[in-house]
């Protein structure tokens, strides 16, 4: 309902930078061992949505217009100069070879996005992709981005090792940014991903002897959701602002945007699991109940349908539990409440940008929040 206003395409605003993303990521992932090389690059073949790099690049551009932290400018200039944008491992069982591959990288696409921020965008996608490789093993997934999942294609062992390899290469690229605070942020993200996944596996908020809805269940779910999804987006937004030398207020605003957008993003993900088909998603639908997971739509449904308590308590393990839980959720207003909460977070994300000067990149960030609510997969 935006009347005649032309729709903003966030991708167009950073198209030049995005164009090199997949190629650069594949360069970061080169290995002299052919099967490792293939497994590591597997999820870079089918075009992902690249949501995280897109947000990092838009945030980099939007914050370039914000006030700077005077004492940090010097350090940032040094850090950017130290970035080697030409990492192309060529040796067998490859160490990085910093002097190789200079030919394919343009010097600087846009003055307002630093090479270090572009590299950060690649690092966020690497960490995200590593988490998908591990996640598909944990979830016994058979498809991802419309193709067989890596665990199905290569087996669990190779899929786990490929994920570890991505994290290793992401860590090297991160270290090369020579920015201690940014390294700390992204290293914390990796720990947070594991913490979130653990919270999901071991649901200690639920008291098995008292299967009644409690506010704690929702608090636990949101904490888990922050760790699992919003940590990466929020801390990489913060890191983008830091690399650009932005002042403390801007850095905090960037973080707040990422946190709220990340929470909205996962809430929508969790409701799409109920409302869309496998064909539409490019990955199995209805997967969360099958995995024994009670996400937001069910937690809201549970509030008015105490019958769900027993099913939650046994993780929908008995015959017919999944179908029954699904029916109850669909009869409830759980989906609508989940959407409403996602809308709240998206609005908060947009409000976080209020101090940013008007720019195309800022409009792009607003549009990302709008699109998060509209997305169908
Ligand atoms: C996708 O969730 C998974 C995540 C967002 C994070 C998973 C984290 C780990 C497996 C921890 C260890 C990994 C690393 C690399 C630190 P989902 O299963 O709800 O989404 P899906 O439907 O896309 O599979
Ligand atoms: Mg999964
Ligand atoms: Mg999972």
Give, using CA atoms, the residue closest to atom 17 of ligand 1. 135
CB of 128 closer than 6 angstroms to any ligand 1 atom: no
In SS3 terms, 41-85 reads as HHHHCCCCCCHHHHHHHHHHHHHCCCCECHHHHHHHHHHHHHCCC
Is residue 95 scored above 90 in pLDDT? no
Q: Return the closest-CA partner of residue 37 out of 87, 89, 100.
A: 89
Lowest mean pLDDT among 63-77, 266-280, 285-299, 325-339: 63-77
What are the pLDDT digits (tens) for 346-368?
A: 999 999 999 999 999 999 999 99
The pLDDT value given to residue 22: 92
What are the pLDDT digits (tens) for 42-51?
A: 999 887 889 9
Ligand nearest to C-alpha 132: 1
Ligand nearest to C-alpha 131: 1
CB of 52 closer than 6 angstroms to any ligand 1 atom: no
Lowest mean pLDDT among 138-152, 163-177, 235-249, 256-270: 138-152
Rounded to 5°, the CA angle 163-268-117 comes to 50
- Of ligand 1's atoms, which has the minimum distance to the CA of residue 287? 22
The pLDDT value given to residue 282: 78
Length of the chain in terms of residues written = 377
Average the pLDDT over 77-102 and give the result: 43
Question: Across the chain, which distance is largest between two alpha carbons, in Å?
Answer: 64
Task: Please give the distance of CA 308 from its chain centroid, rounded to a whole number.
Answer: 30
Is 309 or 73 the better-scoring residue by pLDDT?
309
Q: What is the DSSP letter of 133?
A: H
Is residue 106 scored above 90 in pLDDT? no
Confidence of residue 109 (pLDDT cuts 50, 70, 90): very low
- Enter the tokens of residue 140: 């016994």
Is residue 194 scored above 90 in pLDDT? yes
CB of 248 closer than 6 angstroms to any ligand 1 atom: no
Q: What is the ipTM of this complex?
A: 0.94
Query: Which of 40, 49, 135 is the pocket-test mutation for ligand 1 (most atoms within 8 Å of CB)?
Result: 135
Is 105 or 145 the better-scoring residue by pLDDT?
145
Confidence of residue 305 (pLDDT cuts 50, 70, 90): very high
Q: Are 284 and 152 in contact (CB under 8 A)?
A: no
What are the pLDDT digits (tens) for 242-292?
A: 999 999 999 999 999 999 999 999 999 999 999 987 777 777 778 899 989
Strand partners, 144: 147
Look over the chain and give the mean of its residue pLDDT values, rounded to a whole number: 87
Is 11 or 159 the better-scoring residue by pLDDT?
159
Is residue 81 scored above 80 in pLDDT? no
Tell me, in angstroms, the distance from the centre of ligand 1 to residue 132's CA. Answer: 5
Strands 147-148 and 143-144: antiparallel
CB of 163 closer than 6 angstroms to any ligand 1 atom: yes
What span, in angstroms and rounded, lies between the C-alpha atoms of 185 and 120? 11
What are the pLDDT digits (tens) for 121-130?
A: 999 999 999 9
Query: Which of 193, 277, 295 is the pocket-test mutation for ligand 1 (most atoms within 8 Å of CB)?
Result: 193
Confidence of residue 5 (pLDDT cuts 50, 70, 90): low
What span, in angstroms and rounded, lies between the C-alpha atoms of 206 and 45? 40
Cα dihedral 312, 314, 315, 319 sign: negative
In SS3 terms, 175-236 reads as HCCCCHHHHHHHHHHHHHHHHHHHHHHCCCCCCCCCCCCCHHHHHHHHHHHHHHHHHHHHHH
Total-model pTM: 0.88
What span, in angstroms and rounded, lies between the C-alpha atoms of 43 and 36? 13
Strand partners, 147: 144
Tell me, in angstroms, the distance from the centre of ligand 1 to residue 228's CA. Answer: 7
Is residue 118 scored above 60 in pLDDT? yes
- Of ligand 1's atoms, which has the minimum distance to the CA of residue 131? 15
What span, in angstroms and rounded, lies between the C-alpha atoms of 121 and 107? 17
Q: Are 362 and 331 in contact (CB under 8 A)?
A: no
What span, in angstroms and rounded, lies between the C-alpha atoms of 366 and 57? 14
Q: Is 144 helix (H, G, I), strand (E, B) or coil?
A: strand
The pLDDT value given to residue 210: 63
Confidence of residue 377 (pLDDT cuts 50, 70, 90): confident
Is residue 40 scored above 60 in pLDDT? yes
Q: Which ranges of the chain would DSSP assign to H, the alpha helix?
A: 10-13, 15-19, 21-28, 34-41, 51-63, 70-82, 115-138, 150-154, 156-175, 180-201, 215-225, 231-243, 248-275, 278-281, 287-290, 296-304, 308-313, 321-331, 334-351, 360-374
The pLDDT value given to residue 96: 47
């Amino acid at each position: 309902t935006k009347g005649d206003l032309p729709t903003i395409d966030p991708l167009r605003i950073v198209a030049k930078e995005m164009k090199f993303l997949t190629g650069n990521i594949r360069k970061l992932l080169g290995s002299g061992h052919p099967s490792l090389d293939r497994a590591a690059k597997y999820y870079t073949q089918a075009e992902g949505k690249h949501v995280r790099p897109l947000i990092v690049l838009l945030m980099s551009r939007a914050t370039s217009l914000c006030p700077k932290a005077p004492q940090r400018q010097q350090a940032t200039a040094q850090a950017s100069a130290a970035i080697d944008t030409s990492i192309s491992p060529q040796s067998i069982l490859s160490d990085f070879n910093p002097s190789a591959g200079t030919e394919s990288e343009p010097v600087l696409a846009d003055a307002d996005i630093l090479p270090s921020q572009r590299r950060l965008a690649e690092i966020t996608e690497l960490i995200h992709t590593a988490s998908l490789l591990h996640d598909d093993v944990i979830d016994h997934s058979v498809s991802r981005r419309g193709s067989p999942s890596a665990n199905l294609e290569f087996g669990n062992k190779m899929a786990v090792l490929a994920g570890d390899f991505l994290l290793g290469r992401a860590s090297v690229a991160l270290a090369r940014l020579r920015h201690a605070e940014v390294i700390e942020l992204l290293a914390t993200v990796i720990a947070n991903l594991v913490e979130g996944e653990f919270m999901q596996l071991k649901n200690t908020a639920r008291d098995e002897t008292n299967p009644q809805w409690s506010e704690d269940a929702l608090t636990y779910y949101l904490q888990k959701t922050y760790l699992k999804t919003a940590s990466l987006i929020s801390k990489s937004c913060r890191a983008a602002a830091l690399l650009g030398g932005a002042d403390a207020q801007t850095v905090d605003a960037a973080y707040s945007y990422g946190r709220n957008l990340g929470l909205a993003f996962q809430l929508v993900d969790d409701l799409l699991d109920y409302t869309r088909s496998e064909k539409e998603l490019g990955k199995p639908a209805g997967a969360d109940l099958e995995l024994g997971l009670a996400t937001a739509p069910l937690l809201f449904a549970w509030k008015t349908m105490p019958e769900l308590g027993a099913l939650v308590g046994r993780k929908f393990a008995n015959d017919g539990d999944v179908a029954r839980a699904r029916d109850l959720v669909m009869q409830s207003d759980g989906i609508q409440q989940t959407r409403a909460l996602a809308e709240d977070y998206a609005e908060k994300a947009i409000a976080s940008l209020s101090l940013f000067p008007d720019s195309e990149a800022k409009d792009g960030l607003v549009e990302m929040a709008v699109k998060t609510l509209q997305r169908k997969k």
